Amino acid sequence: MNEKQVHIHIDHLTMAYGSNLIQKDLDFDIYRGDVFVIMGGSGCGKSTLLKHMIGLYPPSTGEILYEGESFNQANEQRQFEMRRGWGITYQTGGLFSAMTLAQNTALPLQQYTELSAAEIDDIVAYKLALVGLGGYQDYYPSEISGGMQKRAGLARAIALDPEILFFDEPSAGLDPISSQLLDELILEMQESLGATVIIVTHELASIFAIASNSVFLDAETKTMIDYGDPKVLRQQSEHEKVRKFLARGSTPSGDPA
C-alpha cells in the first residue's frame, strides 16, 4: 500500500457561536480514502465541526485545508468548484420538503452538470435504486418514513459521485438491520468512488464496522482528547472516557462485543 495522502487538514481550529465557545485547538489530519469518524458525547460539537468543514460557518480561529487549500479564503468560483466534489447528509434530514425525491436528487445534477432531463432521470432512478428507494421518485419527503428519508438524503449526497462524503448521524433512528445495510452502502460508496468519508455517529457497531480513523471531541475540556483508529483506541486510549465510550460504559478490561 502506498503512502497515505493527507486530504483534509484541520489546523488549530477554534469554533464558537458568538461568545459561546464550542471546541478549541482542534488539529488533525484526515487521509484520502479514510472512513473518518467524529465521536463524542451529545452536544460536544460534532455537528458544529461538520458544518465548519462544509463551509457553513467560518472558523473563529484556525483553518480547514483541503489538499492545502482553504475553503474560506477561496473566491466564490473556487468555492463552487470545491463544493461540487462534496456530498452531504444532514442530521435532521435536509431534504427539500417542497420537492419530490426525484427532484431532490436531481437538483445537484441540474446545478453542476449540463445533462439533459432524460439523462438526469436515469441517474436519479439509479441513485434511488442504490439506496433501496427505486420507484419512490414521485414521493414527497413527508410521505416516507424517517429511515427512508435518511436514505433519500444519501441518494442526493451521492448524486454527483463526490470525492468527499459528509454524513451527520446517518444511522440514528434506524433499526439494526437497516443501519447495517447503510454501513455497507457507505463502505461500497467509499470503495467504488475512492471517496474520503467523514461521519458523525454514536453507533458503536457502525464505528467498529467501518471506521479506519477517528477523533474524539470532549465537551468538558472543549477540545479533542484522542485521535486514531477506534479499534485501537478502545484498548489503548490513555483516556478512560474514550475507552468507556467505545466499550459503552462497561469496564475497559471487559471483553467488548
Closest CB 83 distance from another protein, rounded Å:
5
Query: Residue 223's Cα: distance from chain center in Å?
Result: 20
- Contact call for residues 8 and 53 (beta carbons, < 8 A): yes
Q: Contacting ligand ATP (CB under 6 A), which of 6, 25, 43, 236?
A: 43
Q: List contacts with another protein (CB under 8 A).
A: 19-21, 51, 54-56, 79-80, 83-84, 86, 88, 90-98, 107-108, 111-112, 156, 220
3-state secondary structure of 50: helix
47 near Mg ion, judged by CB under 5 A: yes
Cα(219)–Cα(198) distance, integer angstroms: 20
Contacts of 184 (CB under 8 A, 6+ apart): none
CB of 59 vs ligand ATP, minimal distance in Å: 14
**Are the beta carbons of 127 and 158 closer than 8 angstroms?**
yes
The verdict on 48 binding ligand ATP (CB under 6 A) reads yes
Sequence letter at residue 163: E
Chosen from ligand ATP, another protein, Mg ion, none, partner binding at 111 (C-beta under 5 to 8 Å by type)? another protein
Residues numbered 72 to 131 that lie near ligand ATP (CB under 6 A) are 91
The answer to whether 40 and 224 have CB atoms below 8 angstroms apart is no
Asked if residue 194 lies in contact with residue 229, where contact means CB atoms within 8 angstroms, the answer is: no
> Segment contacting Mg ion (CB under 5 A): 60-68, 89-97, 145-153, 215-223?
89-97
Which of another protein, ligand ATP, Mg ion, none has residue 48 at its interface (CB below 5 to 8 Å by kind)? ligand ATP
> With the CA atoms of 47, 50, 54 and 55 taken in that order, what torsion angle do they form, in degrees rounded to the nearest 10?
70
Which spans of this chain sit near ligand ATP (rule: CB under 6 A)? 17, 20, 22, 40, 42-48, 91
- Contacting residues toward Mg ion, per CB under 5 A: 47, 91
